[in-house]
Amino acid sequence: MNNDQIFRSRARVLDEDLTGRASTAGADALLARIVALEPALEPAPARRRFMPSPRRALLGLAVAAALAGAVVVGPSLIGRSEQVYAGQAVTIDRVGDEYVFYFTEGDPDPAELQKAFHKVGLDNLTVTLIPVSPRQPGSVFGFESSDRGAKATFTGDSCPERVEDCITAFSVTADIEGPAEVRLSRPAKPGEKYAYPADAGWPGEALAGVELQGRSAAEAARVVREHHLKVSYALDWPLRNGDKGVRFEVDVPVSRIDPGWQVATAESYNDGVIVLHVVPGPSATPPPGF
């Protein structure tokens, strides 16, 4: 993925921010490492936007891709370091010209984090916690700063090497000028809507243990409604020019869904609606822009 695909000039943790994004083979390779819609019963113009795929185990980098600032995905933050703070939720090391944060709580107290940041002189750094599926602790990461020289690095797989029970880790430039914000995921509270979708069949989700992949759109919709849930549709259009991946057309009216088309995945936002991602048949004509 190039920078044009990844970064935007303004960060918002909303679905709309992923407009214009495609799921590519490169994105899938990265995301595999990290891991309220009304039912469309009447024909209506469909809005087009591109969203993370629930086929990925975690959604962290999709969020990082939607946020502004220099974000780097590194294989490891382990190296020569000096511990400068240790608290219940976070441990902070100084590594060169960066501070490295190791989180051991999935839902840390923001007040405790601000105290930790103050201890190392990052008074202008704040953290926003974003509700996601409890199956995705530490999966969301984003960084925004008005300081063009500031950068952030995210890693989720190597942090236990440094701190026991570490969930996620990131580093930021030590001398950030002006305000900066880091966004991290936290487990959603019971009944709380997710900021980003989860696989509807995961344990604890609305269709836990139910496999809809490969079923027809009509059969999948029937199963969803049997669980007293609403249905929304998205179409997964293959990328053109030989590229691997798909572009997601969401909020597609049921009138455009062939009942025999197959379901690729089913997403949940924990809001009583299941989004069925449907693969268009070979004779289907994509709309303009797809």
Count the neighbouring beta carbons within 10 Å of the beta carbon of residue 165: 10
pLDDT tens for 86-119 read 888 888 989 888 888 888 887 888 888 888 888 8
The per-residue pLDDT for 19 is 39
Q: What is the average per-residue pLDDT within 55-77? A: 38
Number of Cβ atoms within 10 Å of the Cβ of 62: 24
**30 phi and psi angles, rounded to 5 deg:** -70, -45
Q: Is residue 74 over pLDDT 90? A: no
Encoded tokens for 277: 């991602």
Closest CA to 117 of 85, 152, 150: 85
Provide the pLDDT for residue 259.
Answer: 97
> What's residue 115's pLDDT?
87
141-181 confidence digits (pLDDT tens)? 788 888 888 888 876 666 777 788 888 888 888 888 888 88
As given in the structure block, the two tokens for residue 264 are 């690729």
Two tokens at 163?
A: 């701190």
Q: Please determine, for residue 13, whether its predicted confidence score (pLDDT) is greater than 90.
A: no
The mean pLDDT value of the chain amounts to 74
Contacts of 68 (CB under 8 A, 6+ apart): 7, 8, 9, 10, 11, 143, 144, 145
Res 205: pLDDT: 95
pLDDT at 128 over 70: yes
